[in-house]
Amino acid sequence: MRTLSSFVAISAAAVPAVAQTLQSMAPSVRQYLSVDRPVFALRNVQVIDGTGAAPRADQTIIVSAGTISWVGPASAARIPTEAQVIDLPGHTVIPGLVGLHNHTFYYTAAPRAAQSNFTAPRLYLGAGVTTIRSTGSGSPYAELNLKANIERGEIPGPRVFVTGPYLIGPGPDMRLDYLGMHELKSPEAARKVVDYWAEEGATWLKVYTQIDRATLAAITDQAHKRGLKVTGHLCSIGYREAVALGIDALEHGLLSNSEYLADKKPDVCPGGYRDAIASRDIATDPDVRATLNAMLDKKVAMTSTLAVYEASTPGRPWGTDSRLWEVLSADARAEEEERHRQVETTAATSSMPRALKKSMEFEAMFFRAGGLLAAGVDPAWSTPAGIGDHRNFEMLVEAGLTPAEAIQVMSLNGARVLGIDRRLGSIEAGKTADLVVIRGDPAARAADIRQVVTVFRDGIGYDSAKLFASAKGLVGIR
Ligand SMILES: [Zn+2]
């Protein structure tokens, strides 16, 4: 029987956060605005619309009251007389990005965890990530309050889809302490926890590494009854098992799939499973094909988080984005330099160079086969909020997607996973005006995506540089 509360939960899950309006914005948010006119036109820009279509040159986008009212060739545009006209030759406009593994905390092996309610929303928004799913909350109430304050116009930031706390089975893990993970002792306990966070406002749940099949089955069943969805960073359960148990999405590309290890025991998180991924020939391996087909068959989405894995892969580019060094606190900077030094000492033995390459191959194959591939940053010192999302774009292009397809993964596909794609995720007339103005051409030079100038959320324009400046030296502290 459907109770009133379960109906409410389903409605809450399906509807994106309320649109922001100027009237509701506090001075603490208004100080970051650069475009606050209700009607404006972005003229003479290249548009990458988020659908995967090739970039279109010399376009104009007209926005009225938070909605895209028209987009097409600049020569055909009929710009309303009351519009503010912003001429943007040499610029590219993409949809607001949808980040699906975008935490509001940092965790390091030190171990330490830092909730980042000040810097994360500013950096996400400043980088053009206008919607996030947190995908594992270190502090769910801190995140729910952050979401509420953003929606009230007290803090600049993206729309937030809050996940409950990490759900994990019994066993030792320092993250139980530092990230307040919820240790589930039984399937019955899991159902109660799902109910609790459904009432509190979570719309997704995240299971983490060590969890048994009976508990995952209880979580997916209870979550679906409440209109919530479940994703996982798995280990004790293989991808095909999780798909059969009703999971909605899988995190980290192929890199948390333990099912290729020869002596994998049920419900046990094994060591060395990444070596097993590294040893497979992605294009031809029948087991890999079976994983792919199971995901396609059940329409299970996958989140790419390539940038954060690159950071633990010796021999890869590191620290090339100067913004990283500007936003990190002195402590975080020192920790990151030491961490990177340690990674490079593993160059002779690490399976990560091959495993990373295999995951890139699998992600491209999944996308080409029609799989719902999205992306998220999984922030770390090496890949801070927003900055790491940009690195993901560069790596998706390296993986073989066209720049327009990589943008689609990071915008429309993310919106599809969240069920908000009728309103968000692409640049089309009638959709909400979440738009990112970039200086240069990320279709020609992927790294140009770092040159964000203005970010529109609900048709209100934020000065990216101001948002970044407000976070200077504070990542790791606030
Ligand atoms: Zn994560």
- pLDDT 10s digits, 260-280: 999 999 999 999 999 999 999
Q: Residues 167, 190: contact at Cβ < 8 Å? A: yes
Q: 322 CA distance to ligand 1 centroid (A)?
A: 24
Amino acid of residue 68: I
Which tens digit of pLDDT belongs to each residue from 461-476? 999 999 999 999 999 9
Q: How far apart are CA 226 and CA 215, in angstroms?
A: 17
**CA gap 297, 214 in Å, rounded:** 22
Least confident of 94-108, 160-174, 403-417: 160-174
CA of 382 to the centre of ligand 1 (A): 14
- C-alpha 253 to ligand 1 mean position (Å): 12
Domains of the chain: 22-95+428-470 (2.30.40.10), 97-418 (3.20.20.140)
Q: How confident is the model at residue 5 (pLDDT cuts 50, 70, 90)?
A: very low
What's the 226 CA to ligand 1 centre distance in angstroms? 24
CA 361 from centre of chain: 20
Instruction: Give the distance (Å) from ligand 1 centre to CA of residue 303.
Output: 11
243 CA → ligand 1 middle, Å: 20
> What is the tens place of the pLDDT at every residue in 419-441?
999 999 999 999 999 999 999 99
Comparing 10 with 362, which gets the higher pLDDT?
362
Are 98 and 135 in contact by the 8 Å Cβ rule? The answer is: no
304 CA distance to ligand 1 middle (Å) = 11
Q: What is the mean pLDDT of residues 388-409?
A: 98
pLDDT, one tens digit per residue, over 69-114 is 999 999 999 999 999 999 999 999 999 999 999 999 999 888 889 9
* Ligand 1 centroid, distance to 331 Cα (angstroms): 21
The tokens describing 29, both together, are 């948010």
* Phi/psi at 240 (5° precision): -65, -40
Q: How far is the CA of 242 from the centre of ligand 1 (A)?
A: 18
Ligand 1 center to 102 CA (angstroms): 8
pLDDT of residue 145: 97
CA angle 91, 386, 119 (to 5 degrees): 125
101 C-alpha to center of ligand 1: Å? 6
| Cα 308 to averaged position of ligand 1 atoms, centre (Å) | 9
Rg of the chain in Å (alpha carbons): 21
Closest CA to 42 of 9, 10, 90, 8: 90
pLDDT at 14 over 80: no
Which band of pLDDT confidence, cut at 50, 70 and 90, is reported for residue 18? low
Structure tokens at 24: 């509701």
Confidence at residue 174, expressed as pLDDT on a 0 to 100 scale: 64
* Mean per-residue pLDDT, 349-375: 97
Element (H, E) at 365: helix 352-368
Q: Is the pLDDT of residue 198 over 50?
A: yes
Q: pLDDT by residue (tens digit) across 291-348?
A: 999 999 999 999 999 999 999 999 999 999 999 999 999 999 999 999 999 999 999 9
Give the Cα separation of 140 and 180 in Å (integer): 9
From 115, 473, 128, 465, select the one nearest 327 (Cα to Cα): 473
**How many whole angstroms from 378 Cα to the centroid of ligand 1?**
5
The single-letter code of the amino acid at 22 is L
What type of residue sits at position 342? Q
35 three-class SS: strand
Q: Ligand 1 centre and the CA of 439: distance in Å?
A: 30
139, pLDDT greater than 70: yes
**Mean of the pLDDT values across residues 194-223?**
97
> According to the model, what pLDDT value does residue 15 have?
43
pLDDT of residue 179: 86
Q: What's the pLDDT score for residue 17?
A: 57
Please give the distance, rounded to the nearest whole angstrom, from the Cα atom of residue 191 to the centre of ligand 1: 23
pLDDT grade for 36, boundaries at 50, 70 and 90: very high
CA–centroid distance, residue 136 to ligand 1 (Å): 6
Q: What are the φ and ψ backbone dihedral angles of 226, each rounded to 5 degrees?
A: -95, 5
Task: Decide if pLDDT at 19 tops 90.
Answer: no
Q: What pLDDT is attached to residue 238? A: 98
The stretch 140-161 carries a mean pLDDT of 97
- Are 353 and 314 spatial neighbours (Cβ–Cβ below 8 Å)? yes
What is the 286 CA–ligand 1 centroid distance (Å)? 29
Q: How far is the CA of 189 from the centre of ligand 1 (A)?
A: 23
Centre of ligand 1 from the C-alpha of residue 232, in Å:
9
φ, ψ dihedrals at 175, nearest 5°: -70, -20
- Asked whether 223 and 230 are in contact (CB, 8 A), the reply is yes
Ligand 1 mean position, distance from CA 384 (Å)? 12
Mean predicted lDDT score pLDDT of the chain: 94
User: What are 141's two structure tokens?
Assistant: 């109430």
For residue 104, the CA-to-ligand 1 centroid distance in Å is 10
> Which residues is 251 bridged to in the sheet?
303
For ligand 1, the distance from its centroid to the CA atom of residue 99, given in whole angstroms, is 12
- Ligand 1 center–CA 353 separation, angstroms: 20
235 Cα–ligand 1 center, Å: 13
151 CA to centre of ligand 1 in angstroms? 24
Q: Is the per-residue pLDDT at 204 higher than 60?
A: yes
Q: If you measure from the C-alpha of residue 135 to the centroid of ligand 1, how many angstroms do you get, rounded to a whole number?
A: 6
CA 165 to centroid of ligand 1, rounded, Å = 11
Alpha carbon distance 90, 454 (integer Å): 14
